[in-house]
Structure 1
């Protein structure tokens, strides 16, 4: 799917890629928070929190470039736990809005999600061009893919809100984003766990070769 030039995971290009993706996510998170506040949208605020956690993951991935494989697994575990916590917070806010009521702005939801979808697609393509991904880079790719799917959901919800004036599409998408984050967090934690066995297998094979 990525095609074209591949970026070596150990090259300066990988660091450059992570820095670009990091700042793009910071910018998008700020946009989601600002527009989400004025649009009274749970889905936009949820994505703002999601992109904020993404930015932290990318920052951890940058630090992991010069750290051990154990440190990389720790960074991935931290990002996975963050996603689980984030998911719980979004669901709580959706329930609150359902009980207290809300009046989301459909056009603002649609416009912000469309811009974010373009940015997240750029981030995803950049990350996919990286070959020989370590566990932290795989976590970063998971985040960007989740974001792109979530943006499409917000666009659909924004259209329904504009047509009906109801708030439930916004809440449904907010909870859906939380579920995507929940799944992504579990996958990242599972990947970090499997990486331990992969490392042990590599060490075991190396030991066998040495004995031979």
Structure 2
């Protein structure tokens, strides 16, 4: 586990601020591009960027507080990610009954930009990946986002080749699974830390 000195350091704060700004910008880009292109996977990824922005803001707010407060913040973040998973799954089910194929070129271009942002964020946060639940949640979000972006790019290629929406729906379901997985990991670690605080 990372020490309080490490997780409360100037380097950690600066890194989280950089990643927060990058994620907030990508949320705006992807939500607009997702709506214009009709891509559920881009809209889902935009929600992920919004969730990550909130996660990073909460992480900054509780730096220097007691382990119990940081664990409770992590529990909140885990619950929010679980809520996003439910929303994305419900949207995927709804989209199945709606006609229209997302625009693959926009999916690919924005997906590539999102991947670059998330890989940058993951690399910046790499040295903090073994911290407490609050700190670790930041790393897990960035790592999973990069994986999700690779899936969005694959979906864009399949949509372009097949002219169908099924790959887009599949990626939305995959991203919901990533939300649930991350949510579960964060909540479990936060419960343990709260009990021992």
TM-score, reference length from structure 2:
0.93
CA contact (8 A) 1:39 1:104 kept: yes
CA contact (8 A) 2:129 2:135 kept: no
Residue equivalent to 2:180: 182
In the alignment, the residues of structure 2 paired with residue 128 and residue 141 of structure 1 have an alpha-carbon distance, to the nearest angstrom, of 7
Pair member with larger Rg? 1
In the alignment, the residues of structure 2 paired with residue 10 and residue 59 of structure 1 have an alpha-carbon distance, to the nearest angstrom, of 14
Residue equivalent to 1:143: 141
Q: What does 1:52-201 align with in structure 2 at a 5 Å threshold? A: 52-130=50-128, 133-197=131-195, 199=196
CA contact (8 A) 1:153 1:173 kept: yes
Residue equivalent to 1:11: 9
Residue equivalent to 1:24: 22
Name the Cα RMSD after superposition: 1.5
SS at match of 1:43: helix
CA contact (8 A) 2:89 2:172 kept: yes
In the alignment, the residues of structure 2 paired with residue 42 and residue 154 of structure 1 have an alpha-carbon distance, to the nearest angstrom, of 10
Following superposition, the deviation at residue 130 of structure 1 comes to 2.9
Following superposition, the deviation at residue 192 of structure 1 comes to 0.5
Q: Which ranges of structure 1 fall in alignment gaps of 5 or more residues? A: 1-6, 201-212
CA contact (8 A) 1:80 1:186 kept: yes
In the alignment, the residues of structure 2 paired with residue 91 and residue 163 of structure 1 have an alpha-carbon distance, to the nearest angstrom, of 25
Q: How many residues align?
A: 193
In the alignment, the residues of structure 2 paired with residue 123 and residue 60 of structure 1 have an alpha-carbon distance, to the nearest angstrom, of 17
In the alignment, the residues of structure 2 paired with residue 132 and residue 158 of structure 1 have an alpha-carbon distance, to the nearest angstrom, of 34
- Deviations 1:94-121 (Å, cap 9, x if unpaired)? 1111112232011111111111111101
TM-score, reference length from structure 1:
0.87
In the alignment, the residues of structure 1 paired with residue 8 and residue 86 of structure 2 have an alpha-carbon distance, to the nearest angstrom, of 35
Equivalent of 1:39 in 37, 40, 60: 37
- Deviations 1:20-63 (Å, cap 9, x if unpaired)? 01111101111110110011011000011111011001000001
CA contact (8 A) 1:9 1:131 kept: no
